[in-house]
């Protein structure tokens, strides 16, 4: 075939070679040019269309690169076998884009709130600017999978001073959020691991571990923490615990229970404790509760902490301290995964901690949250005859526990009717057999609320609950 | 017991309550105060030590919070049962901190290089500054797990225009790097999936999938791409392919082979194709090769792309386009995982693309890389009698293939002796049975090198290889 009359539009914005390419491609796709047919030589087609030969060559090269045609030495270009795609019915429905959930409540007492009004934006901006001024290639190049050495050194120092965590920078893995670190951890743990959780717990961690295919188990708790006696008979080899301030119960694992936990872990080679130390920075009376990791002498604790709570949720930087044995697993498998935190962010955060801004921010927030906490407790004074207040003096929520016969559902519904959002303990209990076994307990978060709203909201709650 | 003579140092920087707390805690830990013993009342101890009662109360509360003592109503504080931790021998060895690998080569022809001299630092800084000026709480709050809606809209538009990818913003998942997205993907795929890879391939993706516990298989390739005939008998239900520009071979999967692949995927419910479109932005002749995703009418292609290659490795932003069916899996499991990219970074990137800076940067880099590519090809002219040059006109490396009897190891060793680092095709081949079956092929990357170094390095290589 030497005739191929392609309607070329010289005035089109589409390059001529592309017009030719598209024309021939469509001829092939629609079956008008079929397998084995020979294309005209570029010289012949160029003459026929009165177009430069190099333009034709460009079109042919594109067809060749995409496999529509084949070149046979000394013979020319031939149409390839282009199999027709099997075409099933396509669901053409446009996916509705989910927008962030609007609460629609006047008073939203979420336990996950953070007071972002108080974030030191100016300091953060100044550090960002200073770091970006230095337009080094290094800043924009891929760093170590574990995270920048300087940042890990800073974190190690901070953890030792603030949390009693004993580790070298080499044991720290920096990652974009706790959820990510848990996912990374799966690469290091035995695939057949059975993971025990406190019940109630941070349900997201439970669901993630479950989704990853781990066998997950639920353990009961008492006022000293997770029941090690249950753990011993559970078949679990990993326990996910929040010893410094359990979420959501606020229970501090007692030193005796901690030792029992460490002893349990030390009894078998593949046993580990995952210590999620999510908000230990916020304690409003006495000193911070020391970490479990600092009490461990057998390399059994995987310590996870985050800057999302203490700085801002958008700062996607968490860290994990691995015991020696898991560190060597990390070096085999985990370090395959490139760092999930940009170097710029790592440098900003490092400088933010190093220059003392982080400590100042923490001290400031501790005061602000304590102020809100105190106002909340004061506002709840009238509730004391009917409720016992649990989980106070730390974190960002408290738990009023009913002393009378009432259900969490009723408390939550009545609050909702007055535009008040509170949470139920049962929201965090996984597989509850018998709710009526324990007193109704609700969760009231305060960190993200204005003081005025706390007062008004609790007054409204009093009316809603008929107290 | 009412006597507890605690040596309090009034001049110490350590708060008195903390000195008392520490003293009693150590007495308990060292067995001098034992389970069941009663502590003196705070009033008695305060008098005994001539210290305020509130200080004593603070110390007792801390001991209580940590579980060293228990309160018995109307009776006082008693020492708890504190089990001694089982202490194994601890390996006290300091872990050596790994520093970034220094190459020590004078000419390092890595295929992963990027020219960071040309990064538009000024524009990036300006956008960062503009975004940070607006100190909205929203910027520092946790966004949607999928990524910011605005960024996903921008990516969807870009992908449609540049790559022919047809998707809604709702199908896009933004994540911190391709490695992370693969790990996230595991939550959505059947746990028993068998994943086929092209061989040679991007070995990191292979190792990650293997580490995640998937059964991984290797498929042969020919000049049209992965061999679908092998795929059909492999038992695989997922194939990881790089159809636009295979790494490292540079092979473009032909349109016929693409249709075969799509047909294979359409035949069974749980079959999927993972299209890794890692560097399709860089093609130096003709138009970009269209994506496989754009040819798919059955929701079978999982499309993965990244900004790390086109912008900078430190920009930890990749994206994954999921077909409808996997999107509903994502909504069940994947969205448990909070976004791994900070909102600030998402906003900066969004603005960088939206304002046209990304396109300008791409055009600029395409020219710069093409310039380096041309210099490299020119420098290799003298090699043509002994080597066939494969994989040119796209990406950031080429593959000289020996026409004579020589091993890749010899070529690499000889180069190394002259301070030149080149790579062997076998570095990317997993489980090679018989290396002697194929001609020796090396990989020469150029994107990150200076033009002068390319010329000098190749001249040195010529001498090293005795050409």
Alpha carbon A78 to chain centroid, angstroms: 52
SS3 B283: strand
Give B137's pLDDT tier (boundaries 50, 70, 90).
Answer: low
The per-residue pLDDT for B233 is 94
Tell me which of 1.20.1250.20, 3.10.105.10, 1.10.1740.10, 1.10.10.10 is the CATH number of domain B16-79.
Answer: 1.10.10.10
pLDDT at A411 over 90: yes
A-B contacts (CB, under 8 Å): 306
Q: Which of B47-56, B86-95, B390-399 has the lowest mean pLDDT?
A: B86-95
CA angle, B249 then B253 then B258, to 5°: 150
In angstroms, the CA A165 to CA A385 distance is: 41
Report the gap between the CA of A465 and the closest CA in chain B (Å).
Answer: 30
Name which of B142, B245, B318 to mutate to probe chain A: the one with the most chain A Cβ atoms within 10 A of its Cβ: B142
Please name which of B461, B59, B227, B393 lies closest in space to residue A287, comparing C-alpha atoms. Answer: B59
Give B83's pLDDT tier (boundaries 50, 70, 90).
Answer: low
In angstroms, the CA B221 to CA B206 distance is: 16
Going by their DSSP bridges, the two strands A387-390 and A194-198 should be labelled as unpaired
The predicted model scores a pTM of 0.81
Alpha carbon B458 to chain centroid, angstroms: 32
Write out the residue limits of the CATH 3.90.1150.10 domain(s) in chain A: 98-117+360-464
Q: Which of A66-70, B87-91, B112-116, B202-206 has the lowest mean pLDDT?
A: B87-91
Give B90's pLDDT tier (boundaries 50, 70, 90).
Answer: very low
- Count the helix, strand and coil residues of chain B and give each as a percent rounded to the nearest 5: 40, 15, 45
Contacts of A336 in chain B (CB under 8 A): 179, 204, 207-208, 211
Q: Which of A145-154, A270-279, B280-289 has the lowest mean pLDDT?
A: B280-289
pLDDT at B416 over 90: yes
**Interface list for A 409-438 with B (CB within 8 A):** none
Contact between A175 and B341 (Cβ < 8 Å):
no
Whether A21 contacts chain B with CB within 8 A: yes
The chain B residue lying nearest A212, using CA atoms, is: B187
Tokens linked to B302: 């999982």
A356 exposure class (CB count in 10 Å sphere: 0-12, 13-18, 19+): exposed
pLDDT at B305 over 90: yes
In angstroms, the CA A308 to CA A465 distance is: 34
pLDDT at A84 over 70: no
Report the gap between the CA of B54 and the closest CA in chain A (Å).
Answer: 12
Contact between A446 and A376 (Cβ < 8 Å):
yes
Name which of A72, A84, A86 to mutate to probe chain B: the one with the most chain B Cβ atoms within 10 A of its Cβ: A86
Name which of B255, B311, B335, B343 to mutate to probe chain A: the one with the most chain A Cβ atoms within 10 A of its Cβ: B255
Cβ contact A121–B135 (<8 Å): yes
Contacts of B299 in chain A (CB under 8 A): 90-91
More confident residue, B119 or B77: B77
The per-residue pLDDT for A333 is 86
The per-residue pLDDT for B324 is 92
Contact between A255 and A285 (Cβ < 8 Å):
no
Contacts of A249 in chain B (CB under 8 A): none
Write out the residue limits of the CATH 1.10.10.10 domain(s) in chain A: 16-79
Q: Which of A359-363, A451-455, B99-103, B180-184 has the lowest mean pLDDT?
A: B99-103
Mean local confidence (pLDDT), B101-113: 79
CATH architecture of B121-355: 3-Layer(aba) Sandwich (3.40)
Name which of B24, B256, B264 to mutate to probe chain A: the one with the most chain A Cβ atoms within 10 A of its Cβ: B256
The per-residue pLDDT for B67 is 81
What's chain A's Rg over C-alpha atoms?
A: 31
Intra-chain end-to-end CA distance of chain B, in Å: 93
In angstroms, the CA A73 to CA A65 distance is: 16
Please name which of B76, B72, B82, B74 lies closest in space to residue B33, comparing C-alpha atoms. Answer: B82
Condensed to tens digits (0 to 9), the pLDDT of residues A333-342 reads 888 898 999 8
Of A256, A258, A313, Cβ closest to residue B142: A313
Please name which of B340, B2, B324 lies closest in space to residue B146, comparing C-alpha atoms. Answer: B340
Contacts of B256 in chain A (CB under 8 A): 67, 80-83
Q: Does domain B98-117+360-464 have CATH number 3.90.1150.10?
A: yes
pLDDT at B432 over 70: no
Of A61, A132, A287, Cβ closest to residue B18: A287
Write out the residue limits of the CATH 3.40.640.10 domain(s) in chain A: 121-355
Here the ipTM equals 0.76
Q: Which of A423-437, B278-292, B312-326 has the lowest mean pLDDT?
A: A423-437
In angstroms, the CA B1 to CA B3 distance is: 6
Condensed to tens digits (0 to 9), the pLDDT of residues A222-259 reads 999 999 999 999 999 999 999 999 999 999 999 889 99
Cβ contact A313–B258 (<8 Å): no
Give A14's pLDDT tier (boundaries 50, 70, 90).
Answer: confident
Contact between B180 and A180 (Cβ < 8 Å):
yes
Most confidently modeled range among A29-33, A74-78, A331-335, B385-389: B385-389
Contact between B201 and B430 (Cβ < 8 Å):
yes
Residue A306 CB contacts under 8 Å (≥ 6 apart), including other chains: A177, A178, A278, A317, A318, A319
Q: Which of A175-179, B219-223, B282-286 has the lowest mean pLDDT?
A: B282-286
């Amino acid at each position: 075939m030497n005739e191929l009359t392609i309607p070329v539009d010289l005035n089109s914005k589409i390059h001529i070679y592309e017009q030719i390419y598209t024309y021939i491609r469509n001829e092939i796709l629609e079956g008008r040019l079929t397998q084995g047919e020979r294309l005209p030589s570029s010289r012949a087609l160029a003459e026929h269309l009165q177009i430069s030969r190099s333009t034709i060559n460009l079109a042919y090269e594109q067809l060749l690169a995409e496999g529509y045609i084949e070149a046979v030495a000394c013979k020319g270009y031939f149409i390839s076998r282009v199999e027709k795609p099997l075409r099933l019915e396509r669901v053409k429905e446009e996916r509705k884009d989910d927008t962030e959930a609007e609460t629609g409540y006047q008073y939203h007492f979420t336990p996950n709130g953070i007071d972002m009004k108080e974030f030191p934006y100016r300091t953060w901006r100044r550090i960002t600017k200073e770091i970006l001024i230095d337009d080094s290639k290094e800043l924009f190049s891929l760093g170590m999978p574990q995270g920048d050495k300087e940042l890990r050194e800073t974190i190690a120092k901070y953890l030792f001073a603030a949390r009693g965590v004993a580790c070298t920078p080499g044991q720290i893995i920096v990652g974009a959020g706790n959820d990510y670190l848990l996912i990374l951890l799966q690469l290091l743990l035995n695939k057949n691991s059975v993971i025990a959780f406190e019940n109630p717990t941070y349900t997201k961690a439970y669901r993630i571990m479950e989704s990853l295919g781990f066998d997950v188990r639920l353990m009961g708790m008492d006022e000293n923490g997770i029941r090690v006696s249950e753990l011993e008979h559970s078949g679990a080899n990993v326990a996910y615990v929040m010893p410094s301030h359990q979420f959501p119960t606020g229970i501090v694992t007692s030193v005796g229970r901690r030792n029992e936990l460490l002893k349990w872990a030390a009894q078998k080679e593949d046993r580990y404790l995952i210590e999620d130390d999510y908000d230990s920075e916020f304690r409003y009376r006495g000193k911070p509760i020391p970490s479990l990791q600092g009490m461990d002498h057998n390399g059994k604790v995987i310590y996870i902490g985050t800057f999302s709570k203490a700085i801002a949720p958008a700062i996607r930087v968490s860290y994990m301290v691995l015991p020696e044995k898991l560190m060597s697993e990390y070096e085999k498998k985990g370090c395959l995964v490139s760092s999930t935190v940009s170097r710029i962010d790592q440098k900003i955060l490092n400088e933010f901690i190093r220059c003392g801004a982080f400590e100042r921010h923490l001290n400031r927030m501790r005061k602000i949250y304590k102020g809100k906490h105190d106002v909340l407790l004061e506002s709840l004074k009238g509730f004391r005859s009917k409720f016992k207040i649990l989980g106070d003096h730390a974190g960002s929520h408290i738990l009023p526990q009913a002393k009378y016969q009432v259900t969490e559902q009723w408390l939550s519904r009545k609050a909702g009717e007055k535009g008040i959002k509170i949470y139920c303990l049962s929201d965090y209990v996984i597989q509850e057999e018998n709710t009526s076994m324990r007193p109704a307990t609700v969760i009231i978060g305060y960190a993200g609320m204005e003081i005025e709203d706390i007062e008004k909201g609790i007054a409204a709650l009093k009316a809603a609950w008929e107290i």
